[in-house]
Amino acid sequence: MDRQEKSAVVGEFQDKFRTATMAVVTDYRGLSVGKMTQLRCDVREAAGEYKIAKNNLVRLAIRDTSYQALEDFMTGPNGWVFAYDDPVSLSKALVRFADQNAALTIKGAVLDGALLEPVQVKGLASLPSLPELQAQVLSLMQAPAVRLLRTIQEPGSGLVRLLEAFRESKA
């Protein structure tokens, strides 16, 4: 790589760290090309991205950012996972893949400026995702209205049931 290509990689990673909500460092040694492709697809489906770059270039990209705490994990070959939308969905995809493929290990992550250990990333994966939380909130908001509607309709329904019972008893 010449100087221009290296600066392009550093700039690309700076943009990724700037726009990502979470970054995860992984060790991918031992994964086949097919498994790497599957990992990238799984991460992409979770609105993320999986990239590999030299540690020195990434060190330059994270300098003076909230992701600088990840520098402690930069030993050996590293893969970088970036979450752009929902960090919980990405964590679920990454942890599921790591459970199925022992060659992938999660070294650490940064979420909103806080350093996460691998155990904390697995804990994050056990939380409900953003769409699941939105559905729960929506159902909680609808519950009082549904109960009120049932309460309002009940006298009329009771009258109809009474008239129906009376009609059946006459027939």
Q: What is d(CA 41, CA 93) in angstroms, rounded to the nearest whole number? A: 10
| Phi, then psi, of 83 in degrees rounded to 5 | -100, 125
52: helix, strand or coil:
strand
Record the pTM.
0.72
Given a cut of 90, whether residue 113 has pLDDT beyond it is no
Q: Is 76 left (phi over 0), alpha (psi -120 to 50) or beta?
A: left
First to last CA, the chain: 93
Q: What is d(CA 165, CA 171) in angstroms, rounded to the nearest whole number? A: 10
Q: What is d(CA 138, CA 144) in angstroms, rounded to the nearest whole number? A: 11
Q: For the segment 122-162, what is each residue's pLDDT rounded down to a tens digit? A: 988 887 777 777 887 888 888 887 787 788 888 888 888 88
Specify whether the CB–CB gap between 98 and 105 falls below 8 A: yes
Q: For the segment 22-75, what is each residue's pLDDT rounded down to a tens digit? A: 999 999 998 999 999 999 999 999 889 999 999 999 999 998 888 888 888 888
